[in-house]
Amino acid sequence: MFWQKEIETIGREPLEQLQLERLKQIVRRAYKNVPAYADKFIESGVKPKDITSLADLGKLPFTTREDLRENYPFGLLAMPKEQIVRLHTSSGTTGKPKAIFFTRKDVDQAAELIARCLVMTGTKKDDVLQNIMTYGLFTGALVMHYGAEKVGVLVIPAGPGNTERQISLMQDFKTTAIHVTPSYLLYLANVMQKKRINPTRDLSLKRAYLGAEPYSEETRKKIEESLGIDVYNSYGLTEMNGPGVAFECKEKKGMHLWEDNFLLEVIDPETGQNMPEGEVGELVLTTLCREAMPIIRYRTRDLTRIIPGACSCGRTHRRISRIIGRADDMFIVRGVNIFPQQIERVLMGVRGVAQNYQIILESYDQMTVMVEIMKDIFDGSLEHMLNLKSDIVNKLRAEILVTPKVELLEPGTLPVSEGKAKRVIDKRTL
Ligand code: AMP
Ligand code: ZN
């Protein structure tokens, strides 16, 4: 099933031709209309006319989130303000937010990309999509909402929270698809279990679109099994419209990145050089269609790799792997680089472990993993608990090469986030 078959299955050669034309145009517009870009280009000694092939992309300077913050609020606009119809921001953790603007055409184009994603995974007009992401300045909910309406789906703008109401909405309106963060869905699944709701018997759910934060293949499997649905990975970021940048097809073997809209690079974060295809590095994206606010060579800080080879679904847009982590999420204990993702992967693969966990960094050489476990284990024998704990410690040590402290908690002890989960508490920097 395709939304725009011609462009989704376009040959690589015409695709690259199209990319080059769009790149030239976007570079010219940025140079002409955005003084901050013109300054950057001049500093790097590059002019729009120097871009004659896609290989010339490397001549252009990177854009970082600091550039976005420094030029907040209007500094990177390439269109007069009266052409702008929408603002979104991304707060991040420190400093000023990043502001992103859309013209009417930009809003429509972002919705087209979502429509491709939904149709690619089997969503049709007769589906009911419960949108459990946060509505507001955050792109997650609204961009998905417009795309789903374009397909003709009935959208329930539920937003997150009020878990009991989420469940009754699903029951009353026969929700077939949900759009939600993995951490909140895990929590929802837990509440359903407590309320003795059998998802396959009592609900009409068929698929979930999960994104906005990293999660592992183990978490996907856990959710698919417990809810009896298909889970598709959805990747996006505010700077690139929000959701709809890259999305899994039915094969679930990586996310197709819509290359007619975004130029894709994977670079070595240290040197800035391109990684050989298939190797992990930082994802760098260039908007090819955006009118209001073109962004050139944006350093996403997200680590991924290009999956080599063609996908059997017939789409020619290359796939990226699940996000392995953010360059900023990495923390160091005893001199070892660790990503929260590694811990999650281990935890979600251990029987008896429930949904929620948190990593506490206490000192240079000490970390504690707090993990909720299934109620029957928690209420069971002490021996069982001790065995589970040492099993987790051993598996974590094998993965991260550091021996953490592990604390087992009753389900429901750790805070639940409705937006992005905060997995790491670094007491060393508090
Ligand atoms: P925001 O701009 O607030 O929407 O946040 C975007 C960031 O969320 C991305 O740069 C990623 O770090 C993260 N993110 C979004 N979708 C995913 C996903 N499917 N898997 C992992 N991380 C994701
Ligand atoms: Zn595919």
Give pLDDT tens digits for 34-72.
999 999 999 999 999 999 999 999 999 999 999 999 999
How far does the centroid of ligand 2 lie from the alpha carbon of residue 423, in Å?
31
How far does the centroid of ligand 1 lie from the alpha carbon of residue 234, in Å?
9
Closest listed ligand to the CA of 313: 2
- Pocket of ligand 1 from Cβ distances under 6 Å: 90, 139, 211-214, 233-238, 242, 300, 302, 323, 326
Cα separation, 131 vs 113, whole angstroms: 17
User: Which residues are bridge partners to 210 per DSSP?
Assistant: 180, 233
User: Which residues are bridge partners to 331 per DSSP?
Assistant: 338
Residues with Cβ within 8 Å of 4's Cβ and at least 6 positions away in sequence, in order, are: 112, 116
pLDDT in tens, 216-248: 999 999 999 999 999 999 999 999 999 999 999
Q: Count CB neighbours of 198 within 10 A.
A: 11
Ligand 1 atom with minimal separation from the 211 CA: 19
pLDDT at 358: 95
pLDDT at 248: 98
pLDDT exceeds cutoff 90 at 421: no
Higher-confidence position of 95 and 420: 420
Q: Choose the residue to mutate in 93, 114, 213 for probing ligand 1, maximizing ligand atoms within 8 Å of C-beta.
A: 213
Closest listed ligand to the CA of 233: 1
Closest C-alpha residue for ligand 1 atom 21: 214
Pairing of strands 230-237, 207-211: parallel
Give residue 95's pLDDT band: very low, low, confident or very high (50, 70, 90): low
Question: 88-97, long-range: CB within 8 Å, 24+ apart, which pairs?
Answer: 88/137, 88/138, 88/139, 88/142, 88/238, 88/242, 89/137, 89/238, 90/138, 90/139, 90/237, 90/238, 90/239, 91/137, 92/65, 95/69, 96/69, 96/72, 97/69, 97/72, 97/137
Q: Following CA atoms 153, 156, 160, 163 in sequence, which dihedral angle do they give, to the nearest 10 degrees?
A: -120
How far does the centroid of ligand 2 lie from the alpha carbon of residue 396, in Å?
33
Mean per-residue pLDDT, 348-362: 92
Q: Choose the residue to mutate in 134, 215, 237 for probing ligand 1, maximizing ligand atoms within 8 Å of C-beta.
A: 237
Ligand 1 atom with minimal separation from the 91 CA: 3
How far does the centroid of ligand 2 lie from the alpha carbon of residue 64, in Å?
30
Residues with Cβ within 8 Å of 386's Cβ and at least 6 positions away in sequence, in order, are: none
pLDDT exceeds cutoff 80 at 91: no
Closest listed ligand to the CA of 121: 2
Closest C-alpha residue for ligand 1 atom 15: 212
pLDDT at 198: 96
